[in-house]
């Protein structure tokens, strides 16, 4: 017997909801308090929920969750265009331009009204605000509107495209600064200096480390340290990622540590006494530990839920649920856990709240669906409080192969939180938590710089929403030479796949490597042979090549071929790297990109 409760997005009881197993042997409806009891005839089975005004929902019931004394399901309100109301603020409009009922209210201070059970609030204005149905405006009235209409849903006010909120709508792009040879080459010297001073972040003196066992297998989730020779103290601590690489920094916050005064060490006493900064190569460290790949993966979503996020949060909730479900389904051989933090700002209804990592995916999904946008209003938000909760309260698994934190926001932290943000960045890196910021509408250049710095410090990447979906306000374009636009849903799943994949130590088959698929198709194919290779191979081109790089399967640059700039042949040796799929990326003389895969086998 399964006992549970059904809630709606506001956290209230959902009565009269039909509950049935897929086999339809027994059908019941929820009581006035949303509770239900239903007999399971065979497990596992799919329990389905449906009711007028709600999106249908289904949950797989197993021997484990049928015994959950706190079993709950949150249903989303029907995402239907006709059920919503449009609030439009504008100056004078002729009465003949309006068809249907109109309510006109003076807006002294703040407008506080109630429309179909939803609180509305407008900024102070000399113009009246008119509330009416979406179909009640004549075409001529739209011409007088200075901006997009506001759509009111059950959880807030937001602007969006003509389609109701659903997943696979938001569009996004990615800028991964590890996929570039020169750090911050997109920013001008003045821009970099101003933003660097503002946040106290430099992102300089990078040391990249590749850790392997004696059989050249990548060692994952191993602590690596950058140590000051003078005082013997740790400058930077990081953990190797799913490719066995770690990123260390001697000058992220200050320029007091010189290159010659550092060495690199792992947790077993192995050292590199004169390490190379990245522009001179990657540091290769071999240890006597045996290769071991954990099946555990932790993924957390930290989301800004202040009022300015109201234009996109309903879409984001659906995207996150779909991404989490799809990821869990795709990687059933792994033990994936999801957690979430939603935050606002000081003085709001709440500062930050969370659901920790647990074995029940439904609890995380319920938590996300119950959230809505509100509060804020002063620009900067409590980002530092949210990160503190995320790092300290989610119960991260220290043995997980991958620990990912997606930080979804549209505003920076407060000015007085700069030092705390620096401490949190160091803490995330030292815990091996990779931060992937996702910038929403309203993000400015200064915040972009901060987010990209955080991604660099923690071996993550920077993602951002774009205007292509028509959802939300204006989105800034990133400071970069080029980027591809894709659905946010696909981008998040692609990044998760790239960050969690790890080759089994005993398997030589490379067909499953999630090679970076967003790169442009080859424009002028070069020849690589032999391919597969045991380490040494030849690159041959009959066209002029301006730049050429060797990258891992995620696109992160490992080495630059210094004698590029002509046609001909290049001899390359990657035998010190772990077995896997790599890429030869190149830029032709006419500034076109190309890429070829090379497989390293032993």
| pLDDT tier for residue 384 given thresholds of 50, 70 and 90 | very high
Query: d(Cα 587, Cα 566) in Å, to the nearest integer?
Result: 11
Q: What is the pLDDT of residue 158?
A: 43
Residue that wins the pLDDT comparison between 269 and 173: 173
**Tokens found for residue 290:** 């045996």
Q: Per residue in 448-489, pLDDT tens?
A: 999 999 999 999 999 999 999 999 899 999 999 889 999 999
- Cα separation, 282 vs 121, in Å, equals 55
Say if residue 67's pLDDT is above 90: no
Question: Cβ–Cβ contacts within 10 Å for residue 527, how many?
Answer: 12
Is a pLDDT exceeding 50 seen at residue 410?
yes
As a whole number of angstroms, the distance between CA 264 and CA 262 comes to 7
pLDDT over 90 for what percent of the chain? 62
Mean pLDDT to the nearest integer, 155-171? 63
What would the mean pLDDT of 582-597 be, rounded to a whole number? 88
Decide: residue 535, CB within 10 A, 0-12 exposed, 13-18 middle, 19+ buried: middle
Q: Are strands 204-212 and 283-286 parallel, antiparallel or unpaired?
A: parallel
Rg, Å, the chain Cα set: 27
Between these two residues, 103 and 458, which has the higher pLDDT value? Answer: 458
Do residues 472 and 537 lie in contact, with contact meaning Cβ atoms separated by under 8 Å? no
Residue 369 pLDDT level (bands cut at 50, 70, 90): very high
Which DSSP state fits 268? T
| Listed range (81-90, 190-199, 418-427, 460-469) with the worst mean pLDDT | 81-90
- The residue-averaged pLDDT of 365-374 equals 95
**How far is 324 from 319, CA to CA, in rounded Å?**
9
For residues 193, 194, 195, 196, the Cα torsion angle rounded to the nearest 10 degrees is 40
Q: In the prediction, which pLDDT does 259 show?
A: 63
How far is the C-alpha of 415 from the C-alpha of 130, rounded, in Å?
37
**Tell me, what's the pLDDT at 143?**
33
- At 26 the pLDDT is 81
Helix %, strand %, coil % for the chain, to 5? 20, 35, 45
The answer, yes or no, to whether residue 55 has pLDDT greater than 80, is yes
pLDDT bin (cut points 50, 70, 90) of residue 516 is low
Is residue 139's pLDDT more than 90? Answer: no
Which pLDDT does position 11 carry in this prediction? 93
* Residue 526, pLDDT score: 85
Q: Who's near 70: CB < 8 A, 6+ residues apart?
A: none
- pLDDT tens by residue, 521-546: 455 578 999 999 999 999 998 888 88
What string of H, E and C letters represents the secondary structure of 327-380? HHHHCCCCEEEEEEEEECCCCCCCCEEEECCCCCHHHHHHHHHCCCCCCCCCCC
3-class DSSP state of 85: strand
Sheet strands (E) in 392-449: 402-409, 434-439
pLDDT at 152: 40
Q: What is the pLDDT of residue 255?
A: 65
Burial status of residue 228 (CB atoms within 10 A of its CB: 0-12, 13-18, 19 or more): middle
Report pLDDT for 544.
87
Mean pLDDT of the chain: 83
3-state SS string over 479-544?
CCCCCCCEEHHHHHHHHHHHHHCCCCCCCCCCCCCCCCCCCCCCCCCCEEECCCECCEEEEEECCC
Task: Flag the least confident range among 91-100, 442-451, 455-464.
Answer: 91-100
Domains of the chain, each with CATH number or no CATH: 2-74 (2.60.40.1120), 82-154 (no CATH), 171-176+293-500 (3.40.50.410), 206-286 (2.60.40.1120), 527-600 (2.60.40.3080)
Query: Which of 181, 176, 208, 243 shows the shortest CA–CA distance to 600?
Result: 243
pLDDT at 443: 95
SS (H, E, C) 44-80: CEEEEEECCCECCEEEEECCCHHHCCCCEEECCECCC
SS3 call for 147: coil
What mean pLDDT is predicted for residues 208-232?
Answer: 94
pLDDT band at 88 (very low <50, low <70, confident <90, very high): very low
**Quick one: what percent of the chain has pLDDT higher than 70?**
81
Q: Does 52 score more than 90 pLDDT?
A: yes
pLDDT class of 141 with cuts at 50, 70, 90: very low
pLDDT of 434 > 90? The answer is yes
CB 455 within 8 A of CB 145: no
Stretch 340-350: mean pLDDT: 96
Whole-number Å distance between alpha carbons of 353 and 367: 10
Write down the pLDDT at residue 125: 41
Nearest CA-CA partner of 296 in 510, 502, 514: 502
C-alpha span between 122 and 106 (Å, rounded) = 11
The answer to whether residue 151 scores a pLDDT higher than 90 is: no
Q: pLDDT grade, residue 514 (50/70/90)? A: low
- For residue 422, the SS3 value is helix
**Which helix H or strand E contains 313, and what residues bound it?**
helix 313-330
Q: ω before 530 within 30° of 0 (cis)? A: yes
């Amino acid at each position: 017997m399964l006992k549970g409760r059904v809630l709606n997005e506001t956290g209230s009881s959902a009565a009269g909801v039909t509950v049935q197993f897929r086999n339809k042997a027994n059908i019941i409806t929820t009581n006035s308090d949303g509770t239900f009891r239903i007999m399971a005839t065979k497990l596992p089975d799919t329990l389905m929920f449906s009711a007028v005004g709600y999106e249908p929902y289904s949950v797989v019931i197993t021997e484990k969750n049928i015994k959950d004394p706190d079993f709950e399901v949150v249903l989303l309100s029907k995402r239907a265009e006709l059920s919503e109301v449009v609030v439009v603020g504008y100056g004078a409009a002729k009465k003949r331009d309006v068809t249907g009922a109109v309510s006109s209210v003076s807006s002294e201070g703040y407008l506080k009204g109630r429309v179909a059970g939803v609180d509305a609030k407008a900024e102070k204005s000399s113009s009246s605000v008119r509330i009416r149905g979406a179909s009640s405006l004549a075409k001529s009235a739209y011409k007088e509107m200075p901006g997009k209409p506001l759509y009111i849903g059950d959880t807030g006010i937001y602007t969006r495209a003509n389609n109701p909120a659903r997943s696979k709508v938001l569009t996004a792009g990615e800028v991964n600064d590890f996929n570039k040879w020169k750090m911050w080459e997109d920013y001008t010297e003045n821009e970099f200096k101003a933003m660097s001073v503002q946040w106290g972040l430099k992102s300089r003196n990078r040391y990249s480390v590749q850790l392997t066992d004696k059989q050249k297998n990548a060692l994952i989730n191993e602590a690596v340290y950058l140590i000051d020779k003078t005082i013997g103290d740790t400058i930077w601590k990081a953990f190797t990622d799913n490719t066995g690489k770690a990123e260390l920094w001697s000058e992220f916050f200050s320029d007091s540590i010189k290159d010659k005064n550092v060495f690199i060490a792992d947790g077993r006493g192995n050292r590199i006494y004169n390490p190379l900064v990245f522009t001179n190569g990657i540091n290769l460290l071999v240890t006597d530990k045996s290769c071991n790949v954990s099946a555990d993966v932790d993924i957390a979503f930290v989301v800004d839920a202040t009022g300015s996020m109201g234009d996109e949060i309903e879409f984001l909730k659906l995207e996150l649920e779909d991404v989490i479900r799809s990821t869990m389904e795709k990687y059933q051989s792994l033990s994936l856990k999801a957690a979430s933090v939603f935050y606002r700002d000081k003085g709001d209804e709440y500062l930050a709240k969370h659901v920790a990592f647990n074995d029940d995916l439904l609890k995380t999904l319920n938590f996300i669906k119950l959230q809505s946008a509100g509060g804020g209003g002063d620009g900067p938000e409590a980002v530092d409080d949210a990160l503190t909760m995320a790092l300290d309260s989610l119960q991260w698994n220290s043995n997980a192969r991958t620990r990912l934190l997606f930080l979804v926001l549209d505003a920076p932290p407060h000015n007085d939180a700069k030092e705390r943000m620096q401490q949190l960045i160091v803490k995330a890196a030292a815990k091996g938590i990779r931060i992937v910021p996702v910038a929403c509408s309203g993000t400015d250049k200064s915040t972009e710089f901060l987010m990209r710095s955080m991604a660099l410090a923690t071996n993550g990447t920077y993602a951002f929403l774009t205007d292509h979906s028509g959802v939300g306000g204006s989105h800034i374009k990133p400071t970069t030479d080029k980027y591809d636009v894709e659905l946010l849903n696909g981008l998040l799943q692609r990044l998760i796949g790239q960050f969690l994949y790890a080759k089994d130590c005993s398997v030589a088959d490379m067909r499953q490597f999630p090679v970076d698929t967003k790169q442009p198709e080859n424009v002028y194919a070069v020849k690589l042979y032999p391919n597969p290779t045991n380490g040494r191979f030849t690159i041959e081109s009959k066209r002029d090549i301006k730049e050429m790089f060797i990258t891992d399967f995620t696109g992160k640059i490992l080495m630059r071929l210094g004698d590029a700039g002509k046609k001909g042949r290049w001899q390359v040796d990657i035998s010190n790297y772990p077995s896997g799929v790599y890429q030869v990326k190149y830029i032709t003389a006419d500034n076109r990109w190309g890429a070829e895969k090379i497989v390293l086998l032993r």
